[in-house]
Amino acid sequence: MRVKTVQINWHDKQPIFSVDFDHNYDNAQHGGWRFATGGGDNNVRMWRLRSPAEREADPNVPAVEFLASLNRHTAPVNVVRFSPCSSRLASAGDDGVIIIWRQVDDVHNQAGRTDQLDDVAGDVETWRPAAMLRGSLADICDLAWSPDGAFVVSASVDNTARIWDARDARCVQ
């Protein structure tokens, strides 16, 4: 029996700095588990790990499916974290910006045109920034959500920690 190793160029052969699973992803509806990666290519990528039943039913299908590329960062993405209460995602990196992402179902704006600013060919899901939190002048190296998903705490290489109100998009401390 020959075994093949599947190699996925997750972030265009750039390093991957962070990975997080979405604990609110509806496994029963979609099958499998969604996770995000942040990397040296300045992008956040969304993926779906197929369920064991899916992989057993068709062993020729890759275990991981690409869902979306989120491309608003201007420097490497050091950290990605899903909210504990919803499928919002916070990402941050060397550009000093925290982006709170939300998945959208309808990609048409109010004028009826398709907003293609973030759309990448091959995307299965569409994600848009819900908020962009600016205030750090240094690289952000870690994030944590409060248990209720209302706040995000960021840690920077300038030895600061900031507390952000995720709903109002403002720094509270």
Residue 34, pLDDT above cutoff 50 = yes
pLDDT score recorded for residue 85 = 93
pLDDT score recorded for residue 8 = 63
pLDDT average, residue stretch 134-153:
94
- Residue with the larger pLDDT of the pair 26 and 57: 57
CA 54 → CA 32, 63, 97, distances in Å?
8, 9, 37
Which region among 21-35, 43-57, 65-79, 156-170 has the lowest average model confidence (pLDDT)?
21-35
pLDDT score recorded for residue 13 = 87
Model confidence at 137, in pLDDT bands (50, 70, 90)? confident
Residue 81, pLDDT above cutoff 80 = yes
Which region among 120-124, 158-162, 167-171 has the lowest average model confidence (pLDDT)?
120-124
